Amino acid sequence: MTVTFDLNRLIATRLTEIAEAAWRDHRIMPIGDSDGRVLQIGTAATRERWVCGADHGTGVCGEPLLTHRQTAELLGLLNEDEPVLDPELPVTDVELLDEGLGGFFPGSLIHFSDVGREYRKAQG
C-alpha cells in the first residue's frame, strides 16, 4: 500500500489551523495577498499580511501587523537584529510559514505603529 501526500493540501490545512488559533488566542487574522495594504516607511515598502483585531483598551485595533523579517527590512536592519526594542503594543508570537526556509517556524508579529515609532527614533 502506497501512501501519498498532497503537499499543497497539507500546507493549506496547516495555514487554516494557524489562522484559527491566531484568531482564537490573540484576535489577529491573516490577510490574503490581494487584500493587504501596501505599508511604507521611508523608501521601503511591504505588503500587509496580518491585522490585529484585539482590543487594547481603546476599541478594536485594526492595525497591520508585521513579521520580524518585514520589520527588519523596513528598518534596514539585518534579519538577526531585534527590530523593535520597546514596543508599546503587545508583540504576538505565532507559527509562520517561511517560504525561504521551506517550513513553519515560530515568529513574532509587531504592530505597524511600533515599527513607525522605531523608524522615527532612528531618524533623530
**Per-residue pLDDT averaged across 39-58, rounded?**
93
2 within a domain of the structure (yes/no): no
Residue 36 has pLDDT above 70, yes or no: yes
Burial class (CB in 10 A: 0-12, 13-18, 19+), 95: middle
Which of the pair, 67 or 6, is modelled with greater confidence? Answer: 67
* pTM (2 d.p.): 0.86
Question: Residue 23: is its pLDDT beyond 70?
Answer: yes
Which residues, in sequence order, are CB contacts of 44 under 8 Å at separation 6+? 73, 74, 75, 76
| 86 within domain boundaries | yes
What is the band of 3 on the pLDDT scale with cuts at 50, 70, 90? low
Query: Which residues contact residue 52 at a Cβ distance below 8 angstroms, ignoring those fewer than 6 apart?
Result: 27, 28, 61, 62, 63, 64, 65, 89, 92, 111
Residue 1 included in any domain: no
Does 34 map to a domain? Answer: yes
- Cα–Cα distance for residue pair 107/30, rounded to 1 Å: 14
pLDDT tens per residue, range 68-103: 889 998 998 876 667 788 899 989 999 988 777 778
Grid cell 508599546 — which residue? 88
State the residue range of the domain holding 79.
7-123
Query: Is residue 33 one of the residues assigned to a domain?
Result: yes
Q: How many domains does the chain have?
A: 1
pLDDT of residue 80: 65
